[in-house]
Amino acid sequence: MRVVVASSTRSLAEALASPLRAAGHDVLHVRDGAELRRAMPEAEAAFVARRLPGGDALALPPELRHAPVVLVGTDPSDLEAARAARLAGFLAAPFGPADVMAALGVSTRTERVIVLADDSDLVHRHVGALLR
C-alpha cells in the first residue's frame, strides 16, 4: 500500500514510516502542505502531522481526501479537530509501532453500503442473511 507520511520533523516521520516499511508498505515522506497536496492523488492512506507547515490534513480539499487520512497530534483538541474534519483517524503522540499499524488498519477498513430498490420483506430477509 502507498502511504504518505507528512511531517516537517524527521523523528516523527521516521517513527511513522519505520513500522509501515517493515510491514511492506511503500512510504513517501513529505515535509509540507504543498508536497502533501501533490502526493495525495497517488496515496492509498496518509499520516499527517497536525501542525504541518503550509497546511495540514485539516486544510486538505475534499477532492484530495479519497484516501484515508490519519491526523497525528499531541493535544486533546486535535482529536476533536480530526473528528470535525471527518478524517479517517487520529493517532496521539507518543505512540509505538503497534499504534501506527492499528491506526492504519482502522483507517483503511471499508464498509459496504447496500441500497435496496425493492422494499419487500423477502428482499430484506435475503439481504439480512447475506450480511450476517
Q: What is the CATH number of the domain that holds 30?
A: 3.40.50.2300
Each of the 132 residues of the chain gets a pLDDT tens digit; together they read 999 999 999 999 999 999 999 999 999 999 999 999 999 999 999 999 998 999 877 888 888 888 999 999 988 899 999 998 888 999 999 999 999 999 998 777 644 445 556 566 665 665 566 555
Which amino acid is residue 48, in one-letter code? V
Task: List beta partners, residue 27.
Answer: 3
pTM of the predicted structure, to 2 decimals: 0.79
**What's the total number of domains in the chain?**
1
Domain range for 62? 2-131
pLDDT, position 61: 82
Q: Where are the beta strands (DSSP E) in the chain?
A: 2-6, 26-30, 45-49, 69-73, 89-92
